[in-house]
Homo-oligomer: A and B are copies of this chain.
Amino acid sequence: MRTSHTLLPTLREDPGEAEIVSHRLMLRAGMIRRVAAGIYTYLPMGLRVLRKIERIIREEMNRAGAQEVLMPILAPAELWEETGRWGFYGKELLRCQDRHGRNFCFGPTHEEVITDLFRREVRSYRQLPLNCYQIQTKFRDEIRPRFGLMRGREFLMKDAYSFDRDEESARMSYQRMYHAYEQIFTRCGITFRAVEADTGLIGGNMSHEFMVLADTGEETILYEETGTYAANVEQAEVLPPIKTSAPPLLPLERVQTPNAKTVDEVCQCLNIPPDRLVKTLLYQTGTEESVAVLIWGDHEANDIKIKKHLGVTDLALASPERVMTITSAPVGFAGPVGLSGIRILADQAVTQMTNFVVGGNAADLHLINVNWSRDIQVDSVADLRQAKAGDPSPKGNGLLSAAKGIEVGHVFLLGTKYSKAMEATFLDQKGKDTLAVMGCYGIGVSRTAAATIEQHHDTKGMIWPIPIAPFHIHLLPVTASDHVLHTAQTLYDSLSESGIEVLWDDRNERAGVKFNDADLIGAPFQLTIGGKGLAKGFVEVKRRSTGEVTQVEPEHIASFFQEHLGSYL
């Protein structure tokens, strides 16, 4: 393609709206343009990347035995009411009414629609396993869309749904998808890690997220340096503490801690390290029940673990008014001693402590030398805190390390959550109605493009992995002589004919402008044709990722690129 015939509006300046690298570079390189908050147009350069990712996904999904279908974007409310998600999904679900007043949503995910199809069309165990996928525009009405394609309101997804006759077979389908995802992200040329993850709004029994590793990632993952265990920080399990012999118990004391509400303030006031303190966090659940959760001073509570332990889906810190009602004190002085009419949960780590500090349930008051049994009764003890780097691995291979990641794929073993709610059954070998065991599997196509940039860029621009680069070669004639232009035309034609994708900068611009745009757009190879080099009988190939420059005779260019690109064509 020639740039003069391409809608490729590159920007020299960083656009104000961009918050992260991929967003900034995709705008600057003319790949996307904003239409509304979280809603973008893909210009030709951006769409080419999406199409390449789609193609890899399609090939690997087909190879794994999945079948491509296309469900509608509009889903009738009735289907979502069957699973309860019409009410449960909240404001992120974009909804509309048709002219007759019927309710629809714009599917952010399609479990209901595919399960409805299954129960109508699949009769027998002989038709299983079944795995259907689609690549489709999805909607999520984010409260604060941001980061360009990373957290948009309209985005491109691959979603797949498997149906199996039993749990064992469903686990095999799950493994096939897990493997297909490894193939997909490997083929895209990105460094990723599959981690154990929470099942969230989708539900189910098991799930893994596929994380692109990048310092700019919003998610934290914890992993064994020497083993295979890896998990989202929200999901990572914490081992029970090792029992140590306890020092003698000291008498409980009340101490004044004026205005000391945070862990830091209390530690400073009492001149103690944070590991002497137990935080008392007050929550309220969706049913308006209140709960106290005890967490060690230098740990963080993990809301997902607390929710699971309580068996609730809604959980929020209690309001200051509620804190006052429960503790008779403002926020910052809650403590478990003498707290009544409320369940008290303790993270397993704090049960190993002796002579610790807690809030005194009165303004400016803390208690010191607090001890279990003697001073506090708890209702249950569990793993309720966030794991962190340095924790022992739950699988036993040394300590956990932390890394930042961007979620680009997510696989779920759903079990019978949806098939039960929607009565999606088949006849088993004995002719008995049996619930299908399901899995679902998503890939954020547009997000994968953005995550790749977060992982592959430098100060000058993007550095595309060959398999998903918008073009293989950026052809840069930098002298306006007939010889140079003729050579450019000849090389463009011959490379294009062999299936190599060439973006030809045929603008009448200075070499510096062309080089800057080429580094910005980040095609894997830059092919520069200059008058001086040509006089000496060569053109120059620069590899974008390494900066390495090779002089090649024009007549050997085709074979040079066949060698470097052949396996990707």
Please give the residue numbers on chain A whose beta carbons come within 8 Å of chain B beta carbons, in ascending order.
4-7, 9, 33, 35-36, 39-44, 47, 50, 65, 67-76, 91, 94-96, 98-99, 102, 104, 106, 113, 116-117, 120-122, 126-127, 130, 132, 136-137, 139, 141, 143, 153-154
Contact = CB atoms under 8 A, between A and B. Distances in A.
Given A35-B71, A47-B69, A76-B35, A94 B91 contact: no
A102 B117 CA distance: 34
Nearest to A136: B137
A7 B41 contact: no
A65 B153 contact: no
Contact of A132 (B7, B9, B96): B7
Contact of A72 (B4, B9, B35, B50): B35
Nearest to A36: B76
Given A96-B95, A132-B7, A36 B121 contact: no
A74 B6 contact: no
Contacts of A40: 72
A130 B7 contact: yes
A144 to B, nearest CB: 10
A89 to B, nearest CB: 12
B120 A75 contact: no
Contacts of A143: 99
Given A7-B132, A130-B7, A47 B76 contact: no
B96 A68 contact: no
Nearest to A98: B141
Contact of A47 (B35, B36, B43, B68): B68
Contacts of A42: 69-71
Contact of A74 (B36, B98, B117, B136): B36
A74 B39 contact: yes
B94 A96 contact: yes
Contacts of A126: 4
